Structures are given as structure tokens and as C-alpha cells.
Chain A
Amino acid sequence: MRPATARRMALVPDPALASAKLAVRDVARVYRSARGGKVSACADVSFEVHPGEFVCILGPSGCGKSTLLNMLAGLDRPDRGDVLIDGHPIAGPGPDRAVLFQEPALFPWMSVAGNVDFALKFVGVPKSERRDRTMHWLAKVQLSRFAEAQPHELSGGMRQRAALARALACEPEVLLADEPFAALDAQTREILQAELQRVWLDTGKTVVFVTHNVREAAFLADRVLLMSAPPGTIVEDRAIDVERPRNVDDPALARVVAGIHAHLIEEVNKVVAREIGSA
């Protein structure tokens, strides 16, 4: 355990973490509930994400996994502990970290291409380059034909693809995803998982992907971080050594899923037991 004073000096990049793209150290976050009580979202969470790594955070609902993602995005701050990018504390949101939300969050007053173009404009890409880059990324997610469509004219899956194109077009170093496929039907979800894997293999971004779906986590991740019942901490850090590109029906993957699932069920049961106990 390092002394607290050393942790405070996070402004100086820590050589021990030089290899980590993202680092979360001893992070805790407490929310006030509507009834005035305190709800601990996560407690003493520490992990690192290496450059180019695909990490899934998996856990029962309420375990604070979205809270962690929001802190990495700079949309929320820890009450205790440090959240670092390249060894520097994350002070706020920024275009170096693109975020995919559960809802596509496309701007409804712009076309699909307009949405991508808007993001590029904000990052400061000159107008002359924007059109090509927009079309390049829309092609990558197979939406070229829908460039001029309005978001509401697309299906849920297509909207989420558009959101992915918008996120990646800015060429962020990190992609943060908060259950982006949770609202989609099972088939669309599988197609998008495969597509995300393909795009990730192409681009080699650092990805942190939050999900409550074990199969999704096992299919996508290099490493799965399993979180406990709330207040969430990381109870397992498991590397997924299955070759890529992966196939959902790979038996090796099925074994991994079974292993994680057993552990996750234990955690979910704790939540259930607590809820029943307090009722």
C-alpha cells in the first residue's frame, strides 16, 4: 500500500504506471439517495487499462460500473482516489475519450453525416477534410447509404452504428462504452458486437466497455473485470485468452462464459439476499 501523500501527487506522471493508458486507483463514490440516505456506488476500486486493450467491466446492477465509466469520461468525479489518463488526473470530458452511451445520443436536428461532421468540427478538423473523414467512418460502420438520413429514420442498431462512427471519427485515444447495445434486440446486438470487434481490430483503440451481459463481455474483451454487489469493488480480473477474430459460437468462449457466469451469479445472489433481507 502506498502512502496517501504519494497518491496526492498525481500531477507528476507515476513511472510505475507509465505503461497504463488509464488508471483507476482506490476510487470511491457515494451518492445521496432521494430519501436523503447515502448510497455507495463503488468503493476501493483499482485497475489499469493498457494501451490498445479492450477491457469489459461486468457486474450486477447498481455495482457502480457506469459510475466508473462516467469518471473515466470526466462526467463524474470520484469522492476518493484518482482516475488517470497517461498518468494525469482526468479533469473533465474531452475529445481524447469518446463515449458511447446506452442511447445513441445523436442530435435529432442533423443528418447522420451532419452528426459525424459536427463532432469533427468540434475537435477542430478543418472543413476540407471533414467530408472525407465523415464518409470514411460511415463506410466503416456500413452506413454510407444513410449519410443524409435523419437519425429518427434509422433503426436502433443503425443509430448506434452512427454513434460509433461519430465517436471514432474524432480519432480518440480511448473509447468508453456504457452498455451501448443493451437496448437492442439479440440479433442486432450480436451483429454490432462483431462489428465493434472488427473496427477495434482495425484501429487498436483502448476500449473500456461496461455491460451486464456475460457473453458480450467474454466475446469482446481482452480482460473482464468482474464487480461485486454494491458497493462495487473488483472481485475478479480475468484475461480472456481466446483467439481473434472471435466467433460467438466458439466452445472456448462458452467455457469462459460459464466460469464468469458462476461468479457473477454469486454476486447477484448477494444483492438479492440483501434486498429480501431489508424488505
Chain B
Amino acid sequence: MSRVRSVLREVWPRLAAIAILVAIWQLVYQSGFFDKVVLPSPLQVWRALGHDLGNGVIWRNTESSIVRLLIGFTVSVAAGTVFGLLEVASSFFERSFGSLVVGLQSLPSIAWLPLAVLWFGLSEQAVLFVVIIGSFPAVALATMNSVRQVPPLLQRAGRTMGASGWRLYRHVVLPAAIPGYVGGMQQGWAFAWRSLMAGELIIASANGLGGLLTRSQQNLETPTVIAVMAVIVIIGMFVDLAVFGTLDNRIRSRRGLLVHQG
């Protein structure tokens, strides 16, 4: 009961904000300021969402996007982790390639797409490339920082128990770095999701939510455009909060790192 109430307390401000935005939207729609073709009413969007969910269009495209994302994200987590650990192991590696990756982060991943298209064509690989290059730096940096920020005291304690070298890493440093590492994965996920949508959108791939967005726009199916945008937001938030949020919460509360709100 109290759990339901606490969830409600979390959720209602968001619902209120959404309700207010929808109301404003409805008013703008009714004012006739925009052509009805380019700004449909909330109800039309709702119907389009129901229709496209019903006929499986959204599910199909979501599935292709998620599959791409999982492949790209897995590769970038693996590569980013190895890269981050190399940065920890070698200060030369950090100062050389590590600083390049920091620079890479200031380049929006979508800026790689033209090059990716030249290399791979308007293909799956081009999109995957953009996803990987977009999320890998966040994972690499978080891996390095999470290991660097392990309190030296814990390492000293481990060493006095006779742990050294790889054993010290395996049993003390890496477990201690996990909260920061999970935070980095969460960030990497967010970058991967945005890069994926941007890549699909521009390549207008035959499947995937980004492609659906482009095709709907070209067919002037504005309600579907907005409905798909909502789906993108919902998936992004769901994974961010439900998957990473829960994981992060569990790890932090176990270690006493959560600040409880009275």
C-alpha cells in the first residue's frame, strides 16, 4: 500500500506536466495557427499510435531498432571497457589515445555518418558504426574514471591482506569500481540510443523507428511521426529508469551510497 503511494507520489508531477502540455497542444491545434496536416490533434496522434501498434508496424520497427542497438551497444561496452582498462594500465596510452577519445566525444556521432555511408553504403553497418562510435567513448571514460576513483585505502587494505597484481584488481579494485562503471554504461546507452535514432533517420532504413519516422514524414503522416517520437522517448526512459536505474539503485543501496529522502 505504502509502496503504491510512494510510486504515485513519484509519478504524479510528471503526469501533471504531460497533461498540461497536451492541453496546450490541444489549444494550439484548435486555434488553427498551424495547418491541421502538420499539427494533428492529440486525439489523432493517440489513434495513430493505437492503429500502428495494432497492425504491428511499431512493434516490427521497434524490434529492428532494439536488435541493432543491442549489437552496437554490446560492441561498444566491450571495446570501451578494454580501452578504459588500457588507459588505467598505461599512462602513455591514456595521454595518447585516451586524449583522442576525449576529443572524439565533442564530435556528435552523427557527424560520422557521411563517412560511414561512403565506407559501408546506406547499410546496416553504417548505422551500427555510428552507434558504436557514439557510445564507446562514454563507456571508455567511465571505465577509466571508475577504476581511478577507487579509494586508495581499499587498495592498501587489500595489499596488506596479501593481494597484489591481478588478484588485487580482480577482488578489490574492479568490484569497488562497479557503481561508476554502471553509471558509464547508462550514459553509453543514452548515447547509443540517440545515435541509433539519428542514423536510422538519415539513412531512412527500411526498418527501425528512425526510418519509420522519416517515411511517415515523407508520406505526410504527421500523427504517426509524433506517435513514433513518443515511442522513442518511452523506450529511452524505460531502459534508463527501469533497467539501469534499478540496477544502479540496487548496487548503491547495498553499499550504502544512496541518500535516503526523509
A contacts, CB < 8 Å to B = 73-75, 92-95, 97-99, 101, 103, 105, 107-109, 118-119, 122-123, 150-153, 170
Contacts and interface: CB of A to CB of B under 8 A. Distances in A.
Contacts of A92: 159, 164
A105 B153 contact: yes
A122 B161 contact: yes
A101 B157 contact: yes
Interface stretch (B169-177, B190-198, B230-238): B169-177
Contact of A152 (B164, B176, B255): B255
A268 B153 CA distance: 28
B153 A109 contact: no
A153 B161 contact: no
B171 A105 contact: no
A18 B163 CA distance: 29
A123 B162 contact: yes
Chain B interface size, under 10 / 10 to 19 / 20 to 34 / 35 or more: 20 to 34
A107 B161 contact: no
Given A75-B156, A101-B156, A95 B254 contact: no
Contacts of A107: 154, 157, 172, 175-176
B106 interface: no
Interface of B: 153-154, 156-157, 159-164, 167, 171-172, 175-176, 178, 254-257
Contacts of A123: 161-162
A109 B172 contact: no
Nearest to A94: B162
B180 to A, nearest CB: 13
Nearest to A170: B161
Contact of B176 (A93, A109, A170): A109
Given A122-B162, A123-B162, A170-B161, A103 B255 contact: no
Nearest to A109: B175
A109 B254 contact: yes
A150 B160 contact: no
Given A103-B153, A107-B154, A109-B176, A97 B255 contact: no
Contact of A73 (B154, B160, B164, B175): B160
A209 to B, nearest CB: 15
A229 B162 CA distance: 33
A123 B162 CA distance: 7
Contacts of B157: 99, 101, 105, 107
Given A105-B153, A107-B176, A99 B160 contact: yes
Nearest to B153: A105
B202 to A, nearest CB: 43
A153 B256 contact: yes
Nearest to A99: B160
Contacts of A118: 161, 171
